[in-house]
Amino acid sequence: MGQVDPNLLLEATLVLVFLGVLIWRTRVLDIKGTAAALAVGAAVYFTIGRGGIVVLLTFLTISAAFTRIGYDRKKALDAAELKGGIRGWKNVLGNGSVAAGSAILYQIDPSRSHLYSVAMICSIAAVFADTLATEIGLLSRGRVLSIIGLREVRPGEPGGVTLYGYGGATLAGVMTWAVSALSFPNPLGATNLLGATLTSALLGTTVDSLVGQLIQGRYVCKSCGVVTEHLEHCGLPTTLVSGLKFVDNHVVNTICSLTGAVVGVVYFSVT
């Protein structure tokens, strides 16, 4: 197992403390979400280093910005993130646990460090793409179609996809590639890394929608009859109508990020 540079430890500690205060002050995450984000950030910073944390911060800041763009419209559609877009620890771990795990493996198995760094990058590309696909898709005024069957569904309903959403996913893949290529040595080469991040972005988003439609728990509100992924609506408990209760949005996000990591591993293995 490799040794962590003491100077990097000090640097990472100072940077993470600053970021924790900044995240809390800007209300991007609640207090538990901030703690979870710092844990994920520490796992990446103390192992992969500065480049890894830059990729994570790009995902966090741009995702937070797009979450708040047009928030009132998204809220009117009953599809906005709860609590004014402030995310919690479950959301952080759903999006970041695979990246953190890849970073830890990077440290304890240095002979395969390049493999794990690509897995980390591509896991972030996938969840970044899924977030932008959702947030940009909700801003479009076109129809939302179920990924299986292509029937029209309510904006924000699990399994719903839009053309604008896939455009957002593509944008996330390109941004992940650009930031990764500039932040630390590229283990794949520029062209292959772009292919890996774009494939992770688009495939991760697609798998997220497929899992969302097929097995994510869906509930109906007893008051207004709307179908939702939430356990409460209109101040009342909702009733499960399809899917599995334990498969919530955070589980789906984890599957999405794992899909991205697998794509990264495959790219690394075949190139």
Q: Residue 150 is encoded by which pair of tokens?
A: 């292509």
Q: Does 165 fall in a domain? A: yes
Place of tokens 């408990």: 237
The pLDDT of residue 85:
67
DSSP per-residue string spanning the chain: -PPPPHHHHHHHHHHHHHHHHHHHHHTSB-HHHHHHHHHHHHHHHTTT-HHHHHHHHHHHHHHHHHHHTTHHHHHHTT-SPSGGG-B-HHHHHHHHHHHHHHHHHHHH-GGGHHHHHHHHHHHHHHHHHHHHHHHHHHH--S--EETTT--B--TT-TTEE-HHHHHHHHHHHHHHHHHHHHHS--SS-HHHHHHHHHHHHHHHHHHHHHHHHHTB-EEE-TTT--EESSSEETTEE-EEEESBTT--HHHHHHHHHHHHHHHHHHHHHH-
Place of tokens 């906005």: 80
Residue 148, domain extent: 6-270
Q: What is the reported pTM?
A: 0.91
**Number of compact structural domains in the chain:** 1
Q: Does 210 fall in a domain? A: yes
Rounded Cα distance between 156 and 228, Å, is: 8
Q: What is the pLDDT of residues 203-226, one digit of tens each?
A: 999 999 999 999 999 888 888 888
* CB-based contact 103:119 (threshold 8 Å): no
Q: Does 212 fall in a domain? A: yes
Q: Residue 197 is encoded by which pair of tokens?
A: 């991040």
Taking residues 87-108, report their average pLDDT.
Answer: 94
Residue 220 phi/psi, 5-degree rounding, is -115, 140
Q: Does 199 fall in a domain? A: yes
Q: Which residues pair with 237 in a beta bridge?
A: 232
Q: Residue 35 is encoded by which pair of tokens?
A: 């703690």
Q: Does 117 fall in a domain? A: yes
Q: Does 1 fall in a domain? A: no
Confidence class for position 234, pLDDT limits 50, 70, 90:
confident
Q: What is the pLDDT of residues 151-209, one digit of tens each?
A: 988 888 889 999 999 999 999 999 999 999 998 887 788 899 999 999 999 999 999 99
Rounded Cα distance between 2 and 23, Å, is: 31
Closest CA to 124 of 52, 226, 47: 52
Asked whether residue 127 carries a pLDDT value surpassing 80, the answer given is yes
